[in-house]
């Protein structure tokens, strides 16, 4: 049975083992998550500065059977960083471990600590004329340890892959307090089981990631962005095929946006400039990066011409400056904030096979319409099959009025996704929000193996209990 981290004897042990600077006073951001769905707790909050301090804190927690909740930037959307129930945990923040330990530009490798903020990693790579391509809207506050723990995706997965694909090695503290020194700059290493891939995506349930060896890429010599109006999702997929035929791996991002997202921006953030006087029903945002000597704007204009002749686009704009590129991307990246201000009844982070996207959207909209007069904002990374399919109340009505329908909405969407061979957790993780979904839709053999791994590595069940797998 776990004990509370607030126990005076345990707190006294921690204070004798760690420096005074490692302790944090309770603050609201440690106990809240971005969508306001949960309120967390902590018996004590520690923010170690070195991996040895993390190891000592976890070792003491293991001996006392105190729950440990790792905490990165707090930007997770499925409650993995929030523990509401059970004995108050030790909240272990990585905020002080934010150093860039080394960069090897000739090898396209960077070593960073888990608390490093994504925007700082981007800046460090850019200073060496390199690119770390993982990027999300919360890059100014998200920390790389949490992004690896959730195997974050973002807008560049189409070209560069998820967080897992951008990591060569890890340093981590295991549930018994052992330090795993897995920070190797090797591209090939088959010496035993791959603990790196086991810990990435485990959401802090199998250990605490404290540092990572990241893959960098050469910076594209020329980048270009276009906003293109398409008749619908099927045309967007055909446009993606045409874009890759023209540009191959030069296509970095391919985002689908529905008019509902633009309407939400008008409703909640009217200062955000929108390029079209009359918003199209569907938009594609395409971003490309090309080698030296190639003209990105010219390539996008040629793509537009061929797509227009084929009936795949009806209108569009190619960015003519870096400021305009940023304006196009700002449109896409502020949609989640507009969603938050409207207040979703039910939000879904799903993926389906690319060919099934149009069917999912059509059938999903029909299923939601049958449940009530809801608004649907469907947008996301269509290039890799990941959509954010969010359901909102009618304009002028609060989401709380429809709370009783939340489960029915989620079940309708997730049943459809599962039936199409998709996943109900594409890039946000399982956290605590989707534990029941994992049990409902997950493969039984996989679940059995996951539980066995959890028992083997964390027999006391102290590591982020209740996240991913049900506690107990």
Instruction: Give the tens place of pLDDT for each residue, 64-84.
Output: 999 999 999 888 888 889 888
Calpha distance 205→464 (Å, rounded): 5
What distance lies between CA 362 and its chain's CA centroid? 25
At residue 38, the pLDDT reads 77
Residue 472 has pLDDT above 80, yes or no: no
Closest CA to 409 of 316, 346, 329, 461: 346
Dihedral sign for Cα 304, 306, 309, 310, please: negative
Which residues face 69 on adjacent strands? Answer: 91
**pLDDT > 70: percent of the chain:** 100
The two tokens of residue 392 are: 């909102």
Cβ–Cβ < 8 Å for 246, 303: yes
337 three-class SS? helix
Domain coordinates in residue numbering, the chain: 8-95, 100-218, 220-340, 343-429
Residue 1 has pLDDT above 70, yes or no: no
Cβ–Cβ < 8 Å for 405, 372: yes
- Residue written as tokens 């609201």? 28
Task: Summarize the confidence of residues 327-349 as an average pLDDT.
Answer: 94
Residue 315 has pLDDT above 90, yes or no: yes
Taking CA 164 as the corner, what is the angle to CA 255 and CA 455, rounded to the nearest 5 degrees?
Answer: 125
Q: Is 431 left (phi over 0), alpha (psi -120 to 50) or beta?
A: left
The CATH class, in words, for 220-340 is: alpha beta
Taking CA 349 as the corner, what is the angle to CA 347 and CA 351, rounded to the nearest 5 degrees?
Answer: 140
The answer to whether the 100-218 and 220-340 domains have the same CATH topology is: no
Calpha distance 19→237 (Å, rounded): 55
Task: Summarize the confidence of residues 273-295 as an average pLDDT.
Answer: 93
- Residue written as tokens 């003519």? 320
Per DSSP, 288 falls in state E
Cα atoms in the 13 Å half-sphere on the side-chain side of 116: 25
- Computed over every residue of the chain, the mean pLDDT equals 94
CATH 2.40.50.140 describes domain 100-218: no
Task: Summarize the confidence of residues 320-331 as an average pLDDT.
Answer: 94
Residue 109 has pLDDT above 70, yes or no: yes
CATH architecture of 343-429: 2-Layer Sandwich (3.30)
At residue 39, the pLDDT reads 83
Calpha distance 342→439 (Å, rounded): 30
pLDDT, one tens digit per residue, over 406-426 is 999 999 999 999 999 999 999
Task: Summarize the confidence of residues 119-133 as an average pLDDT.
Answer: 97
Cβ–Cβ < 8 Å for 173, 437: no
CATH architecture of 8-95: 2-Layer Sandwich (3.30)
Please report which confidence band the pLDDT of residue 313 belongs to, taking 50, 70 and 90 as the band edges: very high
For the chain, what is the largest distance between any 2 Cα atoms, rounded to a whole number of angstroms?
A: 74
């Amino acid at each position: 049975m776990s004990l509370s981290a607030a126990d005076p004897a345990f707190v006294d042990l921690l204070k004798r083992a760690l420096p005074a600077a490692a302790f944090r006073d309770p603050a609201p951001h440690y106990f809240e998550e971005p969508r306001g769905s949960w309120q967390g707790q902590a018996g004590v909050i520690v923010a170690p500065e070195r991996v040895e301090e993390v190891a000592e804190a976890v070792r003491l927690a293991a001996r006392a059977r105190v729950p440990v909740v790792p905490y990165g930037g707090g930007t997770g959307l499925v409650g993995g960083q929030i523990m509401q129930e059970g004995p108050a945990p030790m909240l272990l923040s990585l905020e002080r471990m934010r150093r860039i330990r080394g960069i090897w530009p000739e090898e396209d490798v960077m070593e960073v600590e888990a608390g490093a903020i994504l925007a700082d990693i981007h800046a460090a790579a850019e200073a060496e004329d390199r690119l770390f391509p993982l990027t999300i809207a919360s890059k100014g506050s998200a920390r790389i340890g949490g992004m690896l723990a959730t195997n974050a995706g973002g807008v560049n997965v189409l070209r560069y892959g998820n967080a897992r694909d951008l990591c060569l090695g890890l340093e981590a503290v295991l549930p018994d307090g052992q330090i795993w020194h897995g920070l190797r700059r090797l591209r090939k290493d088959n010496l035993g089981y791959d603990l790196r891939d086991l810990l990435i995506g485990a959401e802090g349930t199998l250990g605490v990631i404290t540092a990572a060896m990241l893959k960098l890429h050469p910076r594209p010599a020329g980048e270009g962005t276009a906003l293109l109006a398409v008749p619908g999702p099927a045309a967007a997929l055909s446009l993606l095929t045409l874009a890759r035929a023209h540009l191959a791996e030069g296509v970095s991002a391919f985002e689908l946006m529905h008019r509902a997202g633009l309407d939400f921006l008008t409703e909640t953030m009217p200062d955000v400039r929108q390029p079209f006087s009359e918003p199209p029903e569907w938009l594609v945002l395409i971003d490309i990066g090309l080698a030296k000597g190639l003209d990105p704007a010219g390539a996008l204009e040629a793509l537009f011409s061929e797509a227009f002749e084929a009936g795949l686009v009806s209108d569009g704009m190619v960015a003519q400056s870096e400021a305009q590129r940023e304006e196009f991307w700002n449109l896409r990246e502020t949609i989640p904030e507009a969603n938050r201000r409207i207040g979703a009844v039910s939000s879904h982070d799903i993926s389906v096979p690319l060919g099934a996207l149009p069917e999912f959207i059509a059938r999903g909209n029909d299923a939601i319409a049958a449940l009530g007069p809801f608004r649907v904002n469907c947008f996301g990374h269509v290039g890799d099959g990941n959509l954010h399919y969010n359901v909102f109340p009618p304009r002028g009505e609060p989401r709380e009025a429809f709370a009783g329908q939340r489960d029915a909405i989620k079940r309708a969407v997730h049943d459809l996704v599962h039936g199409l061979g998709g996943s109900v957790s594409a890039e946000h993780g399982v956290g605590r929000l989707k534990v029941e979904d994992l049990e409902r839709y997950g493969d039984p053999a996989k679940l059995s193996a996951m539980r066995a791994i959890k028992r083997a590595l964390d027999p006391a069940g102290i590591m982020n209990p209740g996240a991913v797998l049900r506690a107990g």
